[in-house]
Structure 1
Amino acid sequence: MPTVLSTAPLSAADRAERWHEAVSGTFVPMDVHLLEEEPSPGTIVSNRLGSVHISRVQAGPQVVKRSKRHISRDDRNSLIVSLQQRGTTIKEQDGRESVIKPGEFSISDSSRLFRIKIEEEFSFTSFHFPREELQVRDEDLRALTATTFTGEEGSAALVATFLARMAREAESFDEGVGRRVATTALDLLVLLIDERHGRLASEGPPVTAASLDRVKEHVMRNLDDPDLSPSRIAEAHFMSVRYLHKLFQLEGATVSGWIRKQRLEQCRRDLLRPMAREVGVAAIARRWGFVNPSHFSRAFRAAYGNTPREWQLQGRSEARYGNTGGALTDK
């Protein structure tokens, strides 16, 4: 269940104090200065997925500051990603100032000073990640704070799309799914940081490899589903199709190619089993997601150099003459 904090029921005179308490309690301790003589109502709706705290904020003009005093009194060290939905935010940290407009996002680090100014009614969604769970160097993160990300291309687009959906559906996730979604969000942030520093090499970061492992496990459990596709796999893991393709590209593979290879390997194994004579080649192909026998035969021949029937005959021949000491050799 989400936690809702609102100053709407209060008088304008009481809203400033209650809003300061709500902001500091939800995020990290900060000074909050409202810019209206009669403050507009403010609302914060919060959910938690695993270790990630998600908050949807709507309020009027204000300035918030995190000072050395706040940092010394609070040992929480969070990475804060904010998706702007309405209004324009001016953010300062690490010697930079950025302007974040609707559809854009930015990163803040609670372990250092920052200042945020919003001169109009606004709404944004923020995501608080424990800093220790983000396996990136401090200097790499420091180089990207108070930076405007447009979310239109590359890893920034993946982050924006995924986080927006994560916030929309947070209330529907059970605890286990929530943890997996939070882990994927961390993977995406690492991917974004590595990409911005030119280190998106052939071996992805450890967290990216973990996402790929989870995807592969899902594929292996669902090889028999003829409708298994990149879009359905991405949906099951709460990631974009583009990000899914990036994961496999890190290994020099494609999603569909990897699925086809696993299906063919399962078919090749089953074709040599005693039950293969009774059920037939087409039934074995269907068992592993190949709905078209002709397509299966062509794919099998392209992969192994012989047809499924030829593979069966070769296996029976070698078994008949006692050559069972090892696996059959591909042509």
Structure 2
Amino acid sequence: MTEIIAAEARFEHERIAHCRTEMDALLQSGHRIEADASVPFDMHLKHFRLGMLEIFEVCGSAHVMQVQGVNDGAAVLLNVAGSGSLRQGPREARLQPGSLHLLDDAAAFTLQLPEEFCHLVLRVPRPALEGVMRDWRPLTVSCMASCCGSAAVFAGTLRGIFGQRKTLAPSDFKTCADALLGLLGGMLASFARQVGDETSSVEAWHLERVKAFARAHLADAELDVKLIAAEVGLSASYIHRLFARCTMTLMQWITAERLDACHRELSAPGKLKRPVYLIAQEWGFANQAHFSRAFRARFGVSPSDVRSGLAPCCSGAAPCTQGMATDCANIGSLSGKARARKGIRLVPNL
């Protein structure tokens, strides 16, 4: 039921090789151990099989361990004592007393342990884990604190089962394993919601940073996603993902902001003498034809119509109302005196 590997039972120069060989056989994976030369190497490993689950207690002295994963499953590491770091692929996390970390057993990982440590490790077959948490891989390595909530319940149950392993009857194994799996699924689901909330908050913050920078530089005709990404310290692909949930892409949003700014200036009484093309240029529109088309598409009138105060229906951009359809449809054929009586004047488009 319980197997023990104790390095102190060997001569000091044999300890690392002995532990590596025994762990390779017991855990069915490759290990590389680099001990801290300033202290004698020591390691104790206890193993308990709980039905389809396995629980390990590993304690020892400072060292660096590289594990070559070969099993199709996952492991949950509870850092009982000591500090250090854990790295698997591009992800890295700090080991702190009480921290919980989910590992993909099929992938290699590295433990850096600069001081004496103690871990409890639960190994779970992949089908069993996916039965309680299907999308578990995005949660690997990240630190889960076991001080409260479902993580505290899971960590306490894991400690309790391992501590009482010698008193458990074989008939209790399945019940305890099912309970532990259920608590693991609840803990991971809770952590996934927390990660999702934090991710949403971070994305919202980055989205506002991007928009703030873009608003401050709308007049720059060279403003684009690549330039903004470099200035705010994000990748262009990440910015595209941020705006994928919005109704407009970043460049569409920038164009809309520029058009709104142009509309405000064209409508301002104090700027009626400024040429339309200058206003467009000052808000980042280098191509006047493009500006006119975009302006009409957004507001239903031409820039000159806004400058003249002409209603959208009289510009031909919207249907007429209030019984004026006939007059508006025939504005072009009215004489100058007739247009003067109606208070209508023709203005050229930009």
Q: What TM-score, normalized by structure 1, do the two folds share?
A: 0.54
The answer for the alignment partner of 1:274 in structure 2 is none
% identical equivalent positions: 20
User: What does 1:294-309 correspond to in 2, within 5 Å?
Assistant: none
Deviations 1:165-187 (A, max 9, x none): 11111121111211110111111
Task: Provide Cα deviations, 1:11-65, integer angstroms capped at 9, x if missing partner.
Answer: 1111110011122233341332232236422111111111111111111122222
Of 116, 141, 154, which residue of structure 1 is paired with 2:111? 116
Residue in 2 aligned with 1:52? 53
C-alpha contact (below 8 Å) 2:133/2:189 kept by paired residues: no
SS in 1 for 2:165: helix
Q: Residue 103 of structure 1 contacts residue 150 of structure 1 at CA under 8 Å; is this kept in 2?
A: yes
Which sections of structure 2, spanning at least 5 residues, go unmatched? 195-350
Helix, strand or coil for the counterpart of 1:180? helix
User: What is the correspondence of 1:5-154 to structure 2 with a 5 Å cutoff?
Assistant: 5-37=5-37, 39-67=40-68, 71=69, 74=70, 76-135=71-130, 140-154=135-149
Contact 2:77 2:121 (8 Å CA) reproduced: yes
**8 A contact 1:28–1:110 mirrored in 2:** no
Q: Secondary structure at the match of 1:172?
A: coil
Q: Alpha-carbon deviation of 1:156? A: 1.2
- Secondary structure at the aligned position of 1:8 is classed as helix
| Matching residue of 1:186 | 181
CA contact (8 A) 1:4 1:46 kept: yes
* 1:40 maps to amino acid: F
- Give the deviation of 1:138 after TM superposition: 8.4
SS of aligned partner of 2:92:
strand
- Does structure 1 retain, via aligned residues, the 8 Å contact 2:45–2:58? yes
Q: Distance in 1 between matches of 2:98 and 2:54?
A: 20
Instruction: Provide runs of 4+ in structure 1 moved above 3 Å.
Output: 136-139
SS of 1:191's partner is helix
Cα drift, residue 144 of structure 1: 1.3
Alignment CA distance shift 1:60-1:124 (3 Å): same
Say whether the 8 Å CA contact 1:79–1:130 is kept in structure 2: yes
- SS of residue matched to 2:56: strand
Give the match's secondary structure for 1:102. coil
Letter in 2 for 1:29: S
Count of residue pairs brought into register by the alignment: 193
**Equivalent residue, structure 2, for 1:314:** none
**Are the structure 2 counterparts of residues 189 and 138 from structure 1 closer, same or farther at C-alpha, using a change threshold of 3 Å?**
closer
Write the deviation string for residues 169-208 of structure 1: whole angstroms up to 9, x where unpaired: 1121111211110111111111122222339xxxxxxxxx
Which structure has more relative contact order (CA 8 Å, sep 6+)? It is: 1
Q: Give the residue type in structure 2 aligned to 1:173.
A: L
Q: How far apart are the structure 2 equivalents of 1:182 and 1:138?
A: 15
Listed one character per residue, the Cα deviations across residues 285-307 of structure 1 (whole Å, up to 9, x for unaligned) are xxxxxxxxxxxxxxxxxxxxxxx
CA distance in 2, matches of 1:119, 1:159: 27
The alignment yields a C-alpha RMSD, in angstroms, of 2.2
State the distance in 1 between where 2:54 and 2:161 align.
11
Cα distance in structure 2, aligned partners of 1:161 and 1:141: 21
Gaps of 5+ in 1: 200-331
